Amino acid sequence: MRINYDLHDLQAFVAVADRASFRQAASDLFLSQSALSRRIEKLEEGLGVKLFERTTRRVQLTNVGQTFLVNVRTALGGLEDAVLGVADLAAHRTGTVTLACVPSAVWHFLPEVLKQFSERFPRIRVRIHDESAQDVLNLVLAGEADFGINFTGAADPEIVFEPIYEERYVLAMRRDHPFARRKKLNWKDTVGERYISVAKSSGNRSVIDAALAGVEKHPLIFCEANHVSGVLALVEAGMGVAAVPGLSVLPGRADTIVGVPLVNPAIHRTLGLISKRNHTMAPAARTLFEMLSNSLSAPQASTPVVAKRSR
């Protein structure tokens, strides 16, 4: 059944019910009494019921009208909440921003910017998924994250990749290792070392394997872990050395682990802000995205090269 009425008709109905008077309700709504009467008649005709009992002395809701009033108040209240909710989101008063990023970004790029964002918008929740590079990409593609910080995705036609930081791979080792004082290391120098690696499923492993494809001498893997954090834990325990992104050796390990830049070949990865192409972010997410884009600067890594996007 198609009911021919609009929001103004419902508001007119509530006004008459509240005032129990067409004259007073018409005055409240800045309408003539005849215009108000037509709205109520239109509503009653559409519903096929009488909502009011009218006499020369009073206006009273019918039983059906009383039930309808309860439902209309609930509906109008929900609509008002929805409109106010959108206004709050647009004004950054409420909402949630979901960010996916590789773990090293949590240490180096997020804390200061998130602190500033939280101070400006204390009622906006931020949810962080610190995952592998492939998982970060999948979360953004699926729309489960508003945007991400990742080193993969630049070649994906559905992704907009905005570079923010070029990171060099280093050989991670204990500070008491014989190579720890070197300024740089050739891959051939590492051939005799007990080499620890991330698993083949890791995006970091793909970057390293691709770079070493044409290199004759490089170390043989004797131990693998799924994540860089696990690899570094083994290095810290003195089990061997590992090629890792330079940023990963900085957090909390300055006294125990050293990262020496690797050359011949030197391996780099570019971290970037990734977002789904043709996807409109919510205002709060867009604000955090822009804050990160504008504020990110290179941490004190070995030989960082910052690649800020042009505007």
Q: What is the mean pLDDT of the chain?
A: 83
176 with 259, same domain: the answer is: yes
- Dist CA 291 CA 280 (whole Å): 17
Phi, psi of 115 (to 5 degrees): -60, -45
For residue 115, the tally of other CB atoms under 10 A from its CB is 10
CATH of the domain at 158: 3.40.190.10
For residue 307, the tally of other CB atoms under 10 A from its CB is 15
Task: Give per-residue pLDDT as tens, 105-134.
Answer: 887 778 888 998 888 888 888 999 998 888
With a cut of 50, say whether residue 138 has pLDDT above it. Answer: yes
Instruction: Tell me whether residue 1 is in a domain.
Output: no
- Of 74-88, 131-145, 255-269, the range with the lowest mean pLDDT is 74-88
Count Cβ atoms within 10 A of the Cβ of residue 240 and give its class: 0-12 exposed, 13-18 middle, 19 or more buried: buried
Chain position carrying tokens 């120098």: 189
94 or 41: which carries more pLDDT confidence?
Answer: 41
With a cut of 70, say whether residue 306 has pLDDT above it. Answer: no
Chain position carrying tokens 């834990």: 233
84 with 31, same domain: the answer is: yes
Contact 170, 257 (CB under 8 A): no
pLDDT for position 276: 93
Task: Give per-residue pLDDT as tens, 233-261.
Answer: 999 999 999 999 988 886 555 578 999 99
pLDDT for position 171: 95
* Residue 32 structural domain: 7-90
Domains in the chain, number: 3
Mean pLDDT throughout 31-37?
Answer: 87
Instruction: Tell me whether residue 301 is in a domain.
Output: no
CATH of the domain at 85: 1.10.10.10
With a cut of 70, say whether residue 20 has pLDDT above it. Answer: yes
With a cut of 80, say whether residue 83 has pLDDT above it. Answer: no
pLDDT for position 283: 83
pLDDT for position 252: 54
Q: Strands 268-276, 242-245: parallel, antiparallel or unpaired by DSSP? A: unpaired
With a cut of 90, say whether residue 10 has pLDDT above it. Answer: no
86 with 230, same domain: the answer is: no
**Dihedral class, residue 185 (left if φ above 0, else alpha if ψ from -120 to 50, else beta):** beta
pLDDT for position 234: 94
Instruction: Tell me whether residue 151 is in a domain.
Output: yes
Measured CA distances, 219 to 44, 57, 195, 257 (Å)? 84, 99, 6, 19
Task: Give per-residue pLDDT as tens, 277-301.
Answer: 988 888 888 888 988 988 764 443 3
With a cut of 90, say whether residue 202 has pLDDT above it. Answer: no
With a cut of 80, say whether residue 271 has pLDDT above it. Answer: yes
130 with 278, same domain: the answer is: yes
pLDDT for position 105: 82
CATH of the domain at 239: 3.40.190.290
141 with 216, same domain: the answer is: no
Measured CA distances, 39 to 9, 11, 36, 52 (Å)? 5, 10, 5, 13
Task: Give per-residue pLDDT as tens, 148-186.
Answer: 999 888 889 999 999 988 889 999 999 999 999 999 999
Q: Which among 23, 126, 14 has a CA at the least distance from the CA of 73? A: 14
Domain-terminating residue out of 30, 56, 90: 90
Residue % of the chain over a pLDDT of 70: 86
105 with 241, same domain: the answer is: no
- Dist CA 169 CA 210 (whole Å): 13
Instruction: Tell me whether residue 303 is in a domain.
Output: no
With a cut of 70, say whether residue 195 has pLDDT above it. Answer: yes
Tokens standing for 93?
């008063």
